[in-house]
Chains A and B, each alone.
Chain A
Amino acid sequence: DIQMTQSPASLSASLEEIVTITCQASQDIGNWLAWYQQKPGKSPQLLIYGATSLADGVPSRFSGSRYGTQYSLKISRLQVEDPGIYYCLQGYSGPWTFGGGTKLELK
């Protein structure tokens, strides 16, 4: 199975700060990566797919990038509604695997 190592496990950031979360794939997965946000007690929501494409309705402060087998989610200016847990998901080969999650809190 492809392993997705996500870091950091948690972070605290201030409003308007730039936040970056990364996922390292254990092998080449091309651009078959998505990012999801989950708020407490809610279902996950799609943010990014194809490593860099913004999902419909997602604010432009979210962006995704890829460098080899390392993938990053960037929040350019943290807003009050952004805290939650963020997960990456590889859809390159089965079983699809999620990263362990990054818990983002407001400082």
Chain B
Amino acid sequence: EVQLQQSGPEVGRPGSSVKISCKASGYTFTDYVMNWVKQRPGQGLEWIGWIDPEYGSTDYAEKFKKKATLTADTSSNTAYIQLSSLTSEDTATYFCARGDSSYPYVMGAWGQGASVTVSS
């Protein structure tokens, strides 16, 4: 069974950074890309970017290029997203979602979400 287990809720001070993890199991980690999607409270979905764990290649939405850094550790089958220079606009739930290698927008498995609260 494919599973994506995300880390727990985070609270970050304005201006600080947080790092969320997404541990994959039940499939070959390097055969799929990993997407990250943001959802602010009561709002819709927003695509942040994806990482190809096999090559470490990434693609970001322009607005997240200076905000988010995607990495992956193939030894532990874990993908990460680091959010920097936190502001209230970063308060949201962040989902990891496995993307098909040929059609990365096809996200057939999702993590449970990790909430980030930015508060002083």
Which of A's residues lie within 8 Å of B, judged by CB?
Answer: 32, 34, 36, 38, 43-46, 49-50, 55-56, 87, 89-91, 94-101
Contact = CB atoms under 8 A, between A and B. Distances in A.
A20 to B, nearest CB: 20
Contacts of A99: 44
Contact of A97 (B47, B60, B103): B47
A74 B112 CA distance: 26
B92 interface: no
A3 B105 CA distance: 16
Interface of B: 37, 44-47, 59-63, 95, 97, 100, 103-108, 110-113
A49 B102 CA distance: 12
B61 A49 contact: no
Given A43-B113, A87-B44, A101-B44, A95 B61 contact: yes
B61 A56 contact: no
A24 B45 CA distance: 17
Determine chain A's interface SS by DSSP, over half rule.
loop
A90 B46 CA distance: 12
Nearest to A49: B106
B47 A95 contact: yes
B95 A44 contact: yes
A36 B44 CA distance: 12
A55 B108 contact: yes
Contacts of B47: 89, 95-98
Contact of B108 (A46, A95, A101): A46
A32 B105 contact: yes
Contacts of A101: 44-45
B97 to A, nearest CB: 8
A106 B74 CA distance: 44
Contact of A49 (B46, B59, B103): B103
